[in-house]
C-alpha cells in the first residue's frame, strides 16, 4: 500500500515533470524557428507572418536572443485568460469555446464541494478511529482520512449521506445553469451566423431505386411533388472513394518526388536512387526522380480516367442527395418531417456543413446500416471486456510484491526506498496511459463503419464508445482487479458472506491509486499537451526535407484540432472520480480541482494559439457531455449506496435511493428543456432569418449561391492546382480558404519587400 510519503514523492515527481514541460515550452515557443508550431492559428488567420521575414540578424531568425523574454516564461498564462469569451467564440469557434467550458464546469462543481468536504468530512473521518482497531487489512494514512475509518453502523455516516445530497443538488444546480447558458450561446451563435449553405440544405439518404428514372430525376420529382413551394435544387453524390484514394496516393508520391529533388539540388553530383519494393527498402534500385515522375504521370492519367468514369457512369451515383430549399423555413420543415410512409427510405436530416461531411458513408443503405451497427456493438463489447486482461496483468505487475514475484532478481533494487516510491507512484498510471493512446483510432474506425454521415457525429459517437471503455476498464477495472490481487489472500480465509463487504471497503482504498493517476495523466499529461512534441518534430522534418516555398511551409504547418472524441471522455473520468470520492475520500478532491484549473489554462491557450477547427457544429456535443455527467453522478450514488450497505448503515439505503431517482428525473427534465435546441431548428428562428434576409438582400440569387456548395472535394480540386491536395479529403475546402488568405498575405509580403529564405 502507498503511504502519504509515496503520494508526496509522486506528487513531487509529477509536479517537476510538469514544470520541466512548461519550461521547455517556454523556451521552445520563443524561438522564431518554432513559431509556426506554437502559433499556427495566427498564421491561418493571416495576422502573423513568418518572423524570419523581419530585418533581424540571420541567427536571430532562428533563435531568440532577447533574454528578457525568457524571464517572463509563464506570461502565456495570463495571456490565455485575457481574451474575453465573445472574442474567443469569434476567434476559435463555438465548439472550442464550449469545450473549454467543460473544464470550467469542473471547477464550478468541485471547488465548493472540495471546500465543504474538507471542512466537514475530513474531521469526521479522522476521528473515526476504526482502522487503528483492525488488524487484518493493510491501510495507509490516506485511508485514515477516508470513510474506511468510520466504524460500522456508526451515526457518523449521516454526515456522509448529507454530503451526498449536497454534492448531488449542487451538481444539479451547476449543470442546469451550464446547460441553459450553452443552449443560449448556441442559439445566439446560430442566429448571428451569416448565410451558410447548410441552412438551406437537407441531406436525403436512402433514395429508393426506380427502374424508370435516374436518382437525380427521382429526387427532383419527389421533392417537386411533396415540397412544391419550397424545393429549389439538389446535388447528387458521387461515389468518389476510389478517386479520392488515387488523389491521396498521388500526393504521397509527390512528397517523395520533392524530397528527392531537394536532395539532388543540395548534392547535384549524385542522382538519388530508391528501390521499387516495400517502403523503398527492397527490390530493384532505380533513379528516384525518374521513378516518381513516371509514377505520378501514370496516376494522373488514371485519375483523369476515373474522374470521367465517375461523372458519366450512373452507377457511380449513390442513392443520396443534398436537397436545397428556397428558404430556411422550407429546409427546417423537410429536415424535421418524415417524407414517406416507409421510414427506411427518403430519410432526411440537416445537411452537415460542407467541411463536416463524411463522404464515404453516404451510400450505405438502411438494412446494411442496422447490421453494421449490430456488429460494431458486439465488437465494442468484446473490445471493452477483453482489454481487461492486459490491464489486469499490468496492474498486477505494478504492485511491488507482484514485480518481486515475477522478477525475483530485481528484489534488492526495488526494496530501495526511493525506487520503491517511484515505482509505486508512477508505474500504474503510465501503464494505463500507454494502453489508452492506442485506442481512439480504433474507436473512430468503428464509428466510421457504423455509417454516420458527418465528422462531428463520428466524433460524438466515438466519444460515447471511449467513455464506456474508460468506465469499464479504467474505472471499474482498476477498482476490481486491483482489489482482487490485493485481497485474494484474505478472501480465501474468510466466510463468503464477507466478500461483498471487503469489496465495498476496497473502493476508498483505491483512492491512492487514483490520486497517482490524476497526477500522471492530469498534471504531467496536460503539460505535455502544451509542448506539442509530435507536431514539433513533424514540422521540422517536413521543413528540412519538403519545404521549398513559403506555400510549402504553410502545408508543413499542422495546427491540428481539438480531438473531442479522446479528450472529453477523459475529462469525464475526472468528473466521475471527483463525484465518487467526494463523499468517500475527500483528500482526492484538491488533485481534481488542480487538474481542472491547469487544463483549463492550457487548453484555453491552445485553442487561442494552436488548434484550427476542422468544422463547426455549434456545440452540438453538449447533450452528450451532460448525459455522461449524469451517468457519472448515478454511478457515484450507487457505489456510495453499496459502500454504506456493506458498512451496516443499512437503514440509509432508502435515503440514498432517492438520489439516483432524482438524478434520472433531472436528466429527463433537462433533456426536455434544452436538448431540442441542439438537435432541431425551430421554425420561428428560420422564419425570422428568412424575413430579415428578404429585407436586406432582396436580389440574392440563391440558386447560384447553393449550386456548388456540396460537391465532393476531389471535384472541387479540378479547379485548383492538384499539389495543394491534403491527405484529408476535405482539406481542399480549407485550402481554398487558405489560398485567399494567402493572397492577401502575399500582398502584404510584397509591400514589405522581403525575400524568403530557406531554413
CB nearer to a second copy: pick between 246 and 618 = 618
Q: By CB under 8 A, what part of segment 340-359 binds a second copy?
A: 340-341, 343-344, 346
Which one of the spans 435-443, 495-503, 573-581, 616-624 is the region binding a second copy (CB under 8 A)? 495-503
Q: Give the 3-state secondary structure of 54-113.
A: CCCCHHHHHCCCCHHHHHCCCCHHHHHHHCCHHHHHHHHCHHHHHHHHHHHHHHHHHHHH
CB nearer to a second copy: pick between 451 and 522 = 451
SS3 388: helix
Q: Are 385 and 469 in contact (CB under 8 A)?
A: no
Of 675, 693, 728, 749, the one binding a second copy by CB under 8 A? 675
- How many chain residues bind a second copy (CB under 8 A)? 45
DSSP symbols for 414-451: HTSHHHHHHHHHHHHHHHHHHHHHHHHHHHHHHHHHHT
* In the complex, minimum distance from the CB of residue 192 to a second copy, in angstroms, rounded to a whole number: 13
CB nearer to a second copy: pick between 221 and 271 = 221
d(CA 66, CA 563) in angstroms, rounded, equals 35
Is residue 378 a contact residue for a second copy (CB under 8 A)?
yes
Of 173, 290, 381, 407, the one binding a second copy by CB under 8 A? 381
Is residue 392 a contact residue for a second copy (CB under 8 A)?
no
Task: Give the H/E segment covering residue 701.
Answer: none
Is residue 676 a contact residue for a second copy (CB under 8 A)?
yes
Of 194, 268, 408, 672, the one binding a second copy by CB under 8 A? 672
CB nearer to a second copy: pick between 498 and 697 = 498
Of 360, 685, 693, 728, the one binding a second copy by CB under 8 A? 685
* In the complex, minimum distance from the CB of residue 705 to a second copy, in angstroms, rounded to a whole number: 24
Placement of cell 517502403 in the chain:
279
Is residue 187 a contact residue for a second copy (CB under 8 A)?
yes
- Answer positive or negative: Cα dihedral of 631, 431, 478, 109: negative
CB nearer to a second copy: pick between 605 and 667 = 667
User: 315-344 mask for a second copy (x: CB under 8 A)?
Assistant: --------------x--xx--xxxxxx-xx
Is residue 370 a contact residue for a second copy (CB under 8 A)?
yes
Residues 6+ apart with CB under 8 A from 717: 247, 724, 725, 732
Which one of the spans 20-28, 147-155, 377-385, 559-567 is the region binding a second copy (CB under 8 A)? 377-385
Of 661, 720, 746, 756, the one binding a second copy by CB under 8 A? 661
CB nearer to a second copy: pick between 37 and 335 = 335
Which one of the spans 140-148, 412-420, 665-673, 736-744 is the region binding a second copy (CB under 8 A)? 665-673
CA–chain centroid gap for 728, Å, is 17
Q: Are 359 and 716 in contact (CB under 8 A)?
A: no
Q: Which of 570, 548, 545, 373 has the alpha carbon at shortest distance from 471?
A: 570
CB nearer to a second copy: pick between 341 and 701 = 341
Q: Which of 247, 457, 231, 214 has the alpha carbon at shortest distance from 326?
A: 231
Is residue 653 a contact residue for a second copy (CB under 8 A)?
no
Is residue 492 a contact residue for a second copy (CB under 8 A)?
no
CB nearer to a second copy: pick between 311 and 379 = 379
Q: Are 28 and 38 in contact (CB under 8 A)?
A: yes
Q: Are 334 and 323 in contact (CB under 8 A)?
A: yes
Q: Are 237 and 362 in contact (CB under 8 A)?
A: yes
Q: Are 469 and 439 in contact (CB under 8 A)?
A: yes
Q: Which of 560, 503, 507 has the alpha carbon at shortest distance from 726?
A: 560
CA distance between the termini of the chain: 53
Is residue 736 a contact residue for a second copy (CB under 8 A)?
no
Is residue 650 a contact residue for a second copy (CB under 8 A)?
no
- Site of interaction with a second copy (CB under 8 A): 187, 222, 225-227, 229, 329, 332-333, 336-341, 343-344, 346, 366, 370, 373-374, 377-378, 381, 495-497, 661, 665, 668-669, 672-677, 680-685, 687
Amino acid at each position: 500500500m502507498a503511504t502519504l510519503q509515496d503520494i508526496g514523492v509522486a506528487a513531487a515527481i509529477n509536479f517537476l515533470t510538469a514544470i520541466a514541460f512548461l519550461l521547455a515550452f517556454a523556451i521552445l515557443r520563443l524561438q522564431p524557428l518554432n513559431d509556426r508550431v506554437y502559433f499556427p492559428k495566427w498564421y491561418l488567420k493571416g495576422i502573423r507572418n513568418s518572423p524570419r521575414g523581419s530585418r533581424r540578424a540571420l541567427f536571430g531568425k532562428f533563435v531568440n536572443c532577447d533574454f528578457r523574454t525568457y524571464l517572463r516564461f509563464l506570461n502565456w498564462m495570463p495571456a490565455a485568460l485575457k481574451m474575453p469569451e465573445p472574442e474567443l467564440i469569434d476567434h476559435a469557434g463555438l465548439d472550442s469555446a464550449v469545450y473549454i467550458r467543460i473544464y470550467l464546469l469542473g471547477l464550478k462543481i468541485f471547488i465548493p464541494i472540495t471546500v465543504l468536504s474538507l471542512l466537514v468530512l475530513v474531521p469526521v473521518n479522522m476521528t473515526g478511529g476504526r482502522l487503528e482497531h483492525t488488524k487484518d487489512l493493510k491501510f495507509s494514512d490516506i485511508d485514515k482520512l477516508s470513510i474506511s475509518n468510520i466504524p460500522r453502523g456508526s451515526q457518523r455516516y449521516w454526515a456522509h449521506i448529507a454530503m451526498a445530497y449536497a454534492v448531488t443538488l449542487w451538481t444539479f444546480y451547476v449543470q442546469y445553469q451550464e446547460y441553459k447558458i450553452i443552449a443560449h450561446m448556441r442559439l445566439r451563435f446560430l442566429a448571428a451566423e451569416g448565410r451558410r449553405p447548410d441552412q438551406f440544405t437537407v441531406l436525403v439518404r436512402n433514395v429508393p431505386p426506380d427502374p424508370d428514372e435516374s436518382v437525380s430525376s427521382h429526387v427532383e420529382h419527389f421533392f417537386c411533388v411533396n415540397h412544391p413551394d419550397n424545393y429549389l435544387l439538389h446535388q447528387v453524390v458521387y461515389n468518389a472513394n476510389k478517386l479520392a484514394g488515387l488523389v491521396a496516393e498521388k500526393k504521397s508520391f509527390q512528397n517523395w518526388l520533392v524530397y528527392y529533388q531537394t536532395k539532388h539540388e543540395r548534392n547535384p553530383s549524385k542522382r538519388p536512387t530508391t528501390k521499387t519494393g516495400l517502403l523503398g527498402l527492397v527490390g530493384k534500385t532505380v533513379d528516384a526522380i525518374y521513378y516518381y515522375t513516371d509514377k505520378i504521370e501514370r496516376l494522373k492519367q488514371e485519375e483523369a480516367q476515373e474522374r470521367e468514369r465517375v461523372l458519366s457512369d450512373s452507377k457511380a451515383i449513390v442513392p443520396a442527395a443534398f436537397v436545397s430549399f428556397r428558404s430556411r423555413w422550407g429546409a427546417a420543415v423537410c429536415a424535421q418531417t418524415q417524407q414517406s410512409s416507409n421510414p427506411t427510405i427518403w430519410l432526411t436530416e440537416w445537411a452537415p456543413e460542407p467541411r463536416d461531411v463524411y463522404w464515404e458513408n453516404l451510400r450505405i443503405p438502411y438494412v446494411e446500416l442496422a447490421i453494421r451497427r449490430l456488429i460494431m456493438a458486439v465488437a465494442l463489447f468484446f473490445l471493452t471486456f477483453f482489454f481487461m486482461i492486459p490491464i489486469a496483468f499490468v496492474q498486477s505487475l505494478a504492485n511491488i510484491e507482484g514485480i518481486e514475484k515475477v522478477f525475483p532478481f530485481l528484489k534488492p533494487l526495488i526494496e530501495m526506498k526511493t525506487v520503491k516510491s517511484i515505482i509505486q507512484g508512477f508505474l500504474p498510471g503510465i501503464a494505463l496511459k500507454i494502453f489508452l493512446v492506442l485506442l481512439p483510432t480504433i474507436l473512430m474506425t468503428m464509428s466510421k463503419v457504423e455509417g454516420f454521415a458527418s465528422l462531428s457525429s463520428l466524433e460524438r459517437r466515438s466519444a460515447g464508445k471511449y467513455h464506456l471503455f474508460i468506465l469499464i476498464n479504467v474505472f471499474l477495472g482498476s477498482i476490481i482487479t486491483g482489489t482482487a490481487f490485493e485481497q485474494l489472500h484474505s478472501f480465501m480465509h474468510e466466510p463468503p458472506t464477507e466478500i461483498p463487504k471487503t469489496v465495498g471497503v476496497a473502493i476508498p482504498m483505491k483512492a491512492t491509486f487514483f490520486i497517482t493517476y490524476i497526477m500522471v495523466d492530469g498534471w504531467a499529461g496536460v503539460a505535455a499537451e502544451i509542448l506539442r512534441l509530435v507536431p514539433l518534430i513533424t514540422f521540422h522534418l517536413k521543413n528540412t526535407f519538403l519545404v521549398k516555398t513559403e506555400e510549402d511551409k504553410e502545408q508543413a504547418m499542422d495546427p491540428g484540432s481539438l480531438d473531442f472524441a479522446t479528450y472529453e471522455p477523459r475529462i469525464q473520468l475526472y468528473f466521475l472520480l471527483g463525484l465518487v470520492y467526494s463523499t468517500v475520500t475527500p483528500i482526492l478532491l484538491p488533485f481534481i480541482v488542480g487538474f481542472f484549473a491547469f487544463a483549463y489554462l492550457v487548453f484555453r491557450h491552445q485553442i487561442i494559439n494552436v488548434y484550427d477547427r476542422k468544422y463547426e457544429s455549434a456545440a452540438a456535443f453538449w447533450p452528450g457531455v451532460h448525459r455522461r455527467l449524469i451517468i457519472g453522478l448515478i454511478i457515484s450514488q450507487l457505489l456510495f449506496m453499496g459502500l454504506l450497505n456493506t458498512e451496516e448503515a443499512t437503514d440509509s439505503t432508502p435515503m440514498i435511493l432517492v438520489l439516483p431517482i432524482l438524478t434520472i428525473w433531472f436528466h429527463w427534465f433537462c433533456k426536455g428543456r434544452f436538448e431540442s435546441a441542439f438537435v432541431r431548428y425551430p421554425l420561428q428562428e428560420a422564419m425570422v432569418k428568412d424575413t430579415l434576409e428578404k429585407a436586406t438582400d432582396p436580389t440574392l440569387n440563391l440558386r447560384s449561391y447553393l449550386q456548388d456548395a456540396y460537391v465532393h472535394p476531389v471535384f472541387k480540386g479540378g479547379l485548383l492546382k492538384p499539389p495543394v491536395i491534403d491527405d484529408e479529403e476535405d482539406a481542399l475546402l480549407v485550402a481554398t480558404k487558405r489560398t485567399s488568405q494567402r493572397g492577401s498575405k502575399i500582398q502584404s509580403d510584397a509591400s514589405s519587400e522581403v525575400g524568403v529564405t530557406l531554413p
